Chains A and B, each alone.
Chain A
Amino acid sequence: MNVEILMVALLTAMSTSLVGVFLVLRRLSMLTDAISHTVLLGIVIAFMVVGDMTSPFLVIGATVMGVVTVYLIEMLIKTRRVKEDASIGVVFTFLFSISVIIISTRFRHVHLDINMVLLGNLEFVIFDRFQWLFIDVPTSLFIMGLVFVLNITLLGLFYKEMKLVSFDYALAGTLGFSPLIIHYVMMTLVSLTAVAAFNAVGAILVIALMIGPPITALFLTKTLFKTILLTMGIAVFNSVIGYQLSRMMDVTISGMIASVTLLTFVIVMVFARKKGLIGRFVHLRKQKEAIAFATILVHIKNHEDTETAHVELDRETMHAHMQWRKEYLDKLLEKGRKNGYLKIDSGIVGLTEKGESYYRRLSFVKRGVLE
């Protein structure tokens, strides 16, 4: 196990998912798709200016380009001639193709391989090192560390403001905060984080790292603070497991981390207790059954003590009057009898004491909808 690679993976996953929480909550997830592609143009342009692949100006240029992308997309939406998602698609493919064209015509010999940029390469991050005084760490680790600290610090300072803007943008404006400033601070952080994550995981997988852990966490939490904590936990879990699996199978680390991210999401989506698929299905079935049972009670109440009671409430023919399948009705009747709500006297279905009181508690009866 290479601790340095794992550290880079961990810091990348934590930094990206941290900003990702807010992107998801603000329904801006697909902006990451745009930003992560267009920062390439920023790198290319900055490189053309400074001519040095290791210059910090590349990071700055790329970050600026990410923010410019957001601005362009918003401008396009504001014209009200192009919808939101179409704006994203138009802007990022345009800017991205410019960068690919520049790279393939002008920089074929330079260390700027498009595949590398798109896919990233965690395996190689340890070779590019940052050395200063007694420090000797991979450059990626250093940069990612800085970005992580910056993200945490800004979030700590502006937690209240970011929460407010994410939940209710308009209210933030009326309470004297400037949502626009907070918005652009967020976008700058997203852009910077995407740029920093570039080396390690590339333009496409960074999206999974940003969005995956937050939407997984959202299945399990009910407050923003817990969502953020759990998001980080999931990010760490995904990186560690992804790293281990990739070493065991000798395949790409970043690809494996993204795959594990997808997998944890799917597992949580299916099994989350309340909001997961199984939980929902069970809930839906219970709800359906409760409504069906209420319908039976209403049917009984409508016909008991009337002249047609012996026909309408005959256990054998009742299903025909209600136009239900017999098996289904029988199942419910049986259940109701077992639980003491219904009684069956010589083939005629009626309510027990308990059934009567349950009927009165039914919300629509109380509100008088049926009376």
Chain B
Amino acid sequence: MNHVFKVEDLSVAYDRQPVLWDIDLDIPSGILLGIVGPNGAGKSTLVKTALGLVKPLSGDVRFMGEPYSKVYKKIGYVPQKGSVDWDFPTTVFDVVLMGRYGHIGWLRRVGKKDRQATRDALEKVGMFEYRNRQISELSGGQQQRVFLARALVQDADIYFMDEPFAGVDVKTERAIVGLLKELKANDKTVIVVHHDLNTVKDYFDWLTLLNIKVIAHGPVDEVYTKENVRRTYQADTLMSMEREINV
């Protein structure tokens, strides 16, 4: 198995508060990986650091051996739904089209191909009939589908999704899971920040348990054990070290 995404010795701190500590991850291609951990475990930070949005304290992130800036066209990103203003004057179609901007590049205009890709992606997530709606008129689940479509048009090899199931209805959740499995079937690598332990086994084939450090990482059957989960959800990390010192 070739490793499409590799993290080495990664540490991230906000001021002097470590958020990620000494992370080593090897992620083979074609897997569906869930990153699970308690609040404040650094799940989102890990994704943001991978995408160059947060500067690490130390360590290195590589995609197929290259830094992010060289391969950004091959990487799709679905941020948390709350990260944008849903009252923005723009339509569903426009938002999805934005996913193509990376391929289009500076100054150049949107082309026919980009519009076609957008239409296809909208069909795929079942939002085509809503294409001319302003995004403020969507439900939470529909918003998530739009974000997903936006990532799909990026036509990436690796997808990062930050809590795609947060605040969506059951139907959408099922649809998203189906889509994720389809991506995997097409040899894409999908990395999902997730918070619901109950569904881990059904949704993912690989699992990273994270709480500032990597507690466990590997195929879900090996990693998803009572002991590992317990270790993840009790802060057994540098945080505890800090507590020890402060007392």
Q: Do A and B share a direct contact in the complex (Cβ within 8 angstroms)?
A: yes
B-binding residues in A (CB < 8 A): 25, 27, 80, 157-158, 160-161, 163-164, 166-168, 170-177, 218, 221-224, 226-227
A-binding residues in B (CB < 8 A): 15, 48, 51-53, 69, 72-73, 75, 77, 79, 83-85, 88-91, 94-95, 98-99, 101-102, 104-107, 109-110, 133-134, 154
Is there contact, CB below 8 Å, between A176 and B69? yes
Is there contact, CB below 8 Å, between B89 and A170? no
Query: Which chain B residues border A176 with CB–CB below 8 Å?
Result: 69, 72-73, 102, 105
- Measured CA separation A215–B227 after assembly (Å): 55
Q: Chain B nearest CB: distance from A270 CB in Å?
A: 19
Query: Which chain B residues border A223 with CB–CB below 8 Å?
Result: 89-91, 94, 134
Is there contact, CB below 8 Å, between A170 and B104? no
- Measured CA separation A223–B106 after assembly (Å): 21
Is there contact, CB below 8 Å, between B89 and A221? yes
Closest to A222 in B: B134
A171-B77, A171-B98 known; A226-B104 Cβ under 8 A: no
The 6 closest A-B pairs by CB, nearest first: A175-B102, A222-B134, A227-B89, A174-B51, A176-B72, A174-B77
Query: Which chain B residues border A80 with CB–CB below 8 Å?
Result: 15
- Measured CA separation A157–B109 after assembly (Å): 9
Is there contact, CB below 8 Å, between B106 and A177? yes
Is there contact, CB below 8 Å, between B85 and A167? yes
- Measured CA separation A186–B48 after assembly (Å): 25
Q: Chain B nearest CB: distance from A195 CB in Å?
A: 27
Interface centre among A158, A166, A222 (most CB of B within 10 A): A222
- Measured CA separation A27–B84 after assembly (Å): 12
A173-B52, A175-B72, A222-B134 known; A167-B101 Cβ under 8 A: no
Query: Which chain A residues border B107 with CB–CB below 8 Å?
Result: 157-158
Query: Which chain B residues border A170 with CB–CB below 8 Å?
Result: 48, 53, 79, 83
Residue in A158, A164, A222 whose CB lies within 8 Å of B98: A164
Given contact pairs A160-B110, A177-B101, a sample of 12 additional A-B residue pairs in the complex whose CB atoms are under 8 Å apart: A167-B90, A167-B95, A167-B98, A170-B83, A171-B98, A174-B52, A174-B53, A175-B72, A176-B73, A176-B102, A222-B90, A223-B134
- Measured CA separation A166–B94 after assembly (Å): 13
Residue in A25, A157, A227 whose CB lies within 8 Å of B85: A25
Q: Chain A nearest CB: distance from B148 CB in Å?
A: 13
Q: Can you name 25 A-B residue pairings with CB atoms under 8 Å?
A: A25-B88, A160-B110, A161-B101, A163-B98, A164-B98, A166-B88, A167-B85, A167-B88, A167-B90, A168-B84, A172-B101, A173-B52, A174-B53, A174-B72, A174-B77, A175-B101, A176-B69, A222-B89, A222-B91, A222-B134, A223-B89, A223-B91, A224-B89, A224-B94, A227-B89
Closest to A167 in B: B88
Is there contact, CB below 8 Å, between A168 and B79? yes
Q: Chain A nearest CB: distance from B167 CB in Å?
A: 16
Is there contact, CB below 8 Å, between A171 and B79? yes
- Measured CA separation A171–B84 after assembly (Å): 10
Query: Which chain A residues border B133 with CB–CB below 8 Å?
Result: 222
Query: Which chain B residues border A160 with CB–CB below 8 Å?
Result: 101, 104, 109-110
Query: Which chain A residues border B88 with CB–CB below 8 Å?
Result: 25, 166-167, 224
Q: Chain A nearest CB: distance from B240 CB in Å?
A: 25
- Measured CA separation A163–B95 after assembly (Å): 10
Residue in A161, A167, A226 whose CB lies within 8 Å of B106: A161
Q: Chain A nearest CB: distance from B197 CB in Å?
A: 24
Query: Which chain B residues border A161 with CB–CB below 8 Å?
Result: 101, 106
Q: Chain A nearest CB: distance from B58 CB in Å?
A: 21
Is there contact, CB below 8 Å, between B83 and A168? yes
Interface centre among A163, A171, A173 (most CB of B within 10 A): A171
Q: Chain A nearest CB: distance from B200 CB in Å?
A: 25
Q: Chain A nearest CB: distance from B127 CB in Å?
A: 16
